[in-house]
């Protein structure tokens, strides 16, 4: 009888630990995923830096126009379109968009 009680207690402790561990992992994954607004901000900085670095590039004017359009999209609550425009501007300059 004591053996069954010990097994039951150990099982409860292990399951409780597993639930707590799983909950903390899920929470940390959710914290790492940036929101669209955060992505707009990160890509805006990256695009501005890339335009400054590649100012002499043939496609810099087009990239600057896309950056302006992306800024309007992000400010106008159309973050998905803004993110795509920033990514397109960066690709024109030969830069890989960083979204993490």
Is the domain of 49 the same as that of 76? yes
How far, in Å, CA of 98 to CA of 43, rounded?
Answer: 7
Instruction: Quote the mean pLDDT of the chain.
Output: 82
* The total number of structural domains that make up the chain: 2
Is the domain of 41 the same as that of 86? yes
State the residue range of the domain holding 70.
36-92
**Does a structural domain hold residue 53?**
yes
CA-nearest of 92, 5, 75 to 41 is 75
> Binning pLDDT at 50, 70 and 90, where does residue 2 land?
low
Is the domain of 55 the same as that of 28? no
Quick: pLDDT tens for 37-66. 999 999 999 999 999 998 888 889 999 999
How far, in Å, CA of 74 to CA of 69, rounded?
Answer: 9
Is the domain of 42 the same as that of 87? yes
CA-nearest of 71, 51, 73 to 61 is 51
The yes-or-no verdict on residue 84 having pLDDT over 70 is: yes
**What is the pLDDT at residue 86?**
95
**Does a structural domain hold residue 64?**
yes
Is the domain of 48 the same as that of 83? yes
Is the domain of 17 the same as that of 64? no
**Does a structural domain hold residue 45?**
yes
């Amino acid at each position: 009888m004591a053996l069954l009680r010990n097994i039951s207690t150990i099982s409860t402790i292990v399951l409780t630990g597993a639930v707590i561990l799983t909950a903390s992992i899920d929470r940390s994954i959710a914290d790492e995923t940036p929101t669209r607004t955060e992505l707009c901000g990160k890509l805006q900085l990256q695009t501005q830096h890339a335009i400054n670095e590649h100012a002499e590039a043939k496609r810099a004017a087009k990239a600057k126009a896309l950056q302006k359009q992306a800024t309007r999209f992000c400010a106008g609550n159309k973050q998905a379109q803004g993110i795509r425009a920033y990514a397109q501007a960066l690709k024109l300059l030969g830069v890989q968009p960083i979204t993490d």
